[in-house]
Structure 1
Amino acid sequence: MDDILGKTREVTSFIGDLEETFATLMQYGIKLNPAKYIFGVKSGKFLGFIVTDRGIEVNQEKVNHALRGPELRYSEVEKIALALVITARKLRPYFLSHQIVVLTNSSLGRIMTHSEVSGRMVKWTVEVGEYDIEYKPRIAIKAQALSDFLSEMVQPNEEEVWRVFVDGASSLAGCGVGVVIISPPGEKIKLTLRIDSRITNSETEYEAVLAGIQAAREVGASRIILYSDSQLITQQIKGVYEAKDGRMLKYLQLIKARAEVFADWGIEQIPREENSEADTLAKMAASLSEVNTGEVLRVSRLILSTEEEMLPEPEDSWMTPLIKFMVNNELPEDRARAQKTKRQAPRFVILNNIVYRRSFQGPLLKCLSEKEVDYVLREIHEGCCAEHLGGMSLARKTMLAGFWWSNLSQDAARVVRACEGCQHHSNFKHSPATLMKPIWASCPFNQWGMDIVGPFPIARAQKKFLLVAVDYFSKWVEAEPLANITEQEVESYPDGNDQSRAMELDLIEEKRDRAFIRMEAYMSRVMKSYNKKVRIRDFQVGDLVMKKVNPAGEVGKLEARWEGPYKITRRVSSGSFYLEDAQGRSLKRPWNVFNLKQYYA
């Protein structure tokens, strides 16, 4: 044997583990190659692995990849994403069996989880989506050289600060916000936002500052400096000027609350000439002009209103885990729920404080909370121009109307089932409601069948009728010609052939046993065939039910087939019940369960 690797959890058990390994090798006659084994390895490269004091690690040479061709023109984030994808492909067993933590200071985590992506990033996001990957900011690298460690821990210089230029503009057509973000390497990211509501110029400038803070947070900046050409806004944020208006105070509180996520931040006033790019973007957004800004960042979770906090959550709903993850990167404590949330998050987006789901047909579907579900379903099902659709058809029409939630099909079926009109006009249920209960005759072999045949042509003694009797068991036939059919003639019907009948009765017990066995087998087959079709419907005293309008016949095409509700007051048997109406009046006769169905309030 050439390759074998022994590893122990504790130093004290290492010798015992080796003895057990060698005993197993000797038991099966396995030989080791002396040129390819070594003992007591503390660090180094061995059999393609890196052995250190921390344990056995993956050899980084196995995942090396040289950029070539179009890959050289990728952006910095795309290169990092490509590195993650290649690593996942080559180390797939590790990624499938462990939770992977990616340490990076870039915005890769936001892009790969819940940002809008396109092109090759979509393919990579789907490919790594099957793994349990968590993105964290990089603090320090294990086993890093001292010089690299010190360079990671020193305070960043001026060049590592992100610069954010903001400006707001208002016109008769509306208000707009322009944001220009310049990264430390000098790359520009431009953003334009339109505010449909009418607000003052000062409020527009505050909205621009909020948009700049939120956009910087989205791109992963940790230190920022905001630049604005409004002296009033910059001095109020710095505390030089006092804000007395109530709305201005709300803006200041919200700005300071959202800026706490940065390690360091500040705001400076600059001349309008130095803020020309942000000013142009704001004016374009306010005037509804065509905006051609090159690379425009679309930040879907920007909120340009101070009336509410980041996302109003008066109570928990099925969207709460998704919102917490998409906004604050918070995951549920349960691992299974956390993985489900991370898997679902890329299909959702937040626009103007509203959660939308990306449908496979193209448009965004507005997500509804539990309180809004019943109103929307009832409006579509039984509102204006209502069609009273079935459960699945109602769910499809709801999605065509632009709505979605987690239990859409179940809630649609529940609303259809409880619809008053649908219950009164629903189809009859033709399947049996109770299991078959066979009835056994108490004396199955002591029965005769009698019939009168005639009149025939008159025979001797004016006889023209024939009274015939047949034994059900022995099939013995007795016949007597009669002139008239009267009560006395039938009662005095003679029992002829007594000798032959006596011989038949001597063998009756044997035939009776065989017939009983055949009868039981036949009844068993009949019950089995019948019970396959049964859909059991059973009710208890106090249940509300509906009964057929006309159990004996058909009803008109447009008439209601069911009426009610009625309350069950007493059970007669397993399939019959006494009912009373809503006014407390009892119905005269019991009703069979075949003519009843459950009523849903």
Structure 2
Amino acid sequence: MCVDFTDLNKACPKDSYPLPNIDWLVDRASGHIVLSFLDSYSGYNQILMYAPDREKTAFITEQANYCYEVMPFGLKNAGATYQRLMDKVFHNQIGRCMKVYVDDMVIRSHTHQQHLKDLEEVFQQLRHYNMRLNPSKCTFGVSAGKFLGFMLTYRGIEANPDKCRAILEMKSPTKLKDVQCLVGRLTALSRFISRLSDHIRLILKNMKKDVPRHWDNDCEETFSKVKSILTSPPIMARPTEGFELQLYLAASNHSVSAALIQESPDFKLIYFTSRTLQGAEERYSQVEKVALALLTAARRLRPKSDLAGRIVAWAIELSEFGLRYEPKGSVKGQHLADFAAEIYRPEEPNIWHLNLDGSSDRKGGGADVVLEGPDGLLVEQAVSFNFQLSNNQAEYEALISGLLLAKELEVNHLECRMDSQLVVEQLNGTFQVKDDHLLRYYHKVSDLIKSFTSFSVTHIPRAQNSWANLLSKLTHSRKKSQLSSVIKTTLHKPLLEAYTTNVATPRNDWRQDIIQLMVQQEQGGRLSITDSKRIARYIFVGDDLYRRGYTTPLLKCLSDEEAKYVMQELHHGVCGSHSRKRMLWAKILRAGFYWPSMEQDCATFVQKCISCQSHGHNLRIPPSELHEIISSWPFVQWGMDIAEPLPVGKAQCKYLLVAVDYFTKWIKAETLAIISAQKAEAANKSIISELKKRLGCAKGLWVEELPEVLWAYKCTPHGSTGETPFNLTYGTDAMLPVEIGEPTIRREMQDMNLNENQLRVNLDTLPEKREVAMIRNVAQKRLLVRRYNTKVKPRSFTAGDLVWRKRGEARKEKAYGKLSGN
């Protein structure tokens, strides 16, 4: 969940609690023999929000409105608040054996014995304040490790191997963005590279605007030299108190550099700094360049800039605002800039003009199309029709030809001029299109108009349509020997038909054909034998179309959108159980719905379900034969299972006791907080699988979701009995919530008195139904046993045999990744 707290952060005052200096922490944490790195588990979420302020972190979802009870990520003062907590919790350890920067902690010791004592002391503090760590990101008792982007070892501070590897594996830059990426990566390692600015001087030239950018041999040689330095970068050490520091300065024609070292008691490299000379600085004298190198090193090595006088007062007063500095490019000559702003005019779009004229006669007709672009560009097209059509159809054919021509030339802004007032007014919405054939032309033209950014059509008198007359003269007066500049096209069928075959039309409602045939039959029309058989099973109930079914008397016919809603509701709705395609299809039929492509649509719908794919069962080859368990009557034999520990839910419940009747498949489940038997078998797969798909990331809500999962299970038919557990228990099926959202005929015409009597009749016939279910169950299990045993591959072992053992994720070699063995 990602919530944008921008407005809240603007309203909150800034917490001025200071964060430690990273360089100082890294220096103090290096040079120790034993290190342990700790990382908090969702550290911010371990701090409770102040109760009156919780509603200020509210956010809206599709299901409900929520607010944070713990401190979320993204708040302005979250880092300072967490640092204050760390300083309070470890106030006796920080500075002595521990360094903390927000949620990153390092424990350093000079001996292993002392390190164990320090760890014990730190864990006591964690346990006292009920803080949790992330075990996957914690490392204990090592000699080296990463901390705040640096590699800490007992020898000192080393460059981050990942950052070095990123540069070593980087290819030669080919564009400005690659050069900027390379310079950024080198800047992050500037502490470990001597005279970096001097080395990459040629590379930095490619980032200037007024210099042609090209990667030449000199740049490639510089890049290779930097790579060779990073293959074995120097090790930096922290300074030892009581000994002098020495600063070595270097100045060249293009950069100044400095190296901070300490020669006694041992030679140590501490820091490298470098800076590229800009503009007039390159013309400094040698003494000035050395002084500039000293000044740059003093500024770079100073942790914080010194504030004095009124600056301190101003900084305290402005600290409550979330100020951010945004540099603005310099403008030479402000008066010229203001003058340019006053006379600025927005760039006008390139508008193309389309002139059309279409006509028809007994043999066919023709159309003249002239497309005029900017700078006097003309595109002319003469179209001949070898089919009969009316004048209005010819005008539409001419318009479609012009629009296709403009679309092919990638025109964005188009103005069309025609001499047919009828077509113009129909496109502008003034006239209504009553002719069915012209209505098809109108829809196709409307689809083509959508491909332009702007489009307009205007009417001009025929006498003023000079472009069409000009084209007519051009097409008839040109000699045969001349090269024609007019595109001549002959159409043997209307463009409407060609366009219709090339453009995918939306799928129509399948019920329209059935309704039209039924209306035709009622009006006395004659239908073919095929059509008569096709509509024989359909009937109208009110305004809805129903189909006579075999399992259910009347099935309501649904459109595509209605069918999608029913599939969603029965698959992962309130009573959904993420069924497979065949079970989903059966549940839809039992609920009283129908559409022709039910089976295919259900299969496609299930295949696209992310939860079913993520939590599907893995296929395994069975090693032994299957032995069925048969129950002769309901509620005689039960199977019980205690699910493995689940996330702690409501009332501290974390166990699930599941009991299933072998005959009816009736299921009972009870949530428990404590159990005495710890040797429980695997969790019930149906319940756990459905809970996984419903919960997503909120695993602690499984107690609230359990009743809906159980209800969906009881209302789902089982293949072994052919009935739902609810039906075999009570003698009838339960009404599903989907019938409330999409009512069926049995819901709309329900008689409560008749329903009460029928329920008693169902109880009398329940024993017979259970007998049939038992016979079906036995046959189904025997068939299942035979199919299962065909896939069995028996395996037998004797003492001393060598066998393969499957590795767990913890035993796999992480360096090999996917190439590691199973």
TM-score by length of 2: 0.21
Higher relative contact order (CA 8 A, sep 6+): 1
Bigger Rg, structure 1 or 2: 1
The TM-score normalised by the length of structure 1 is: 0.28
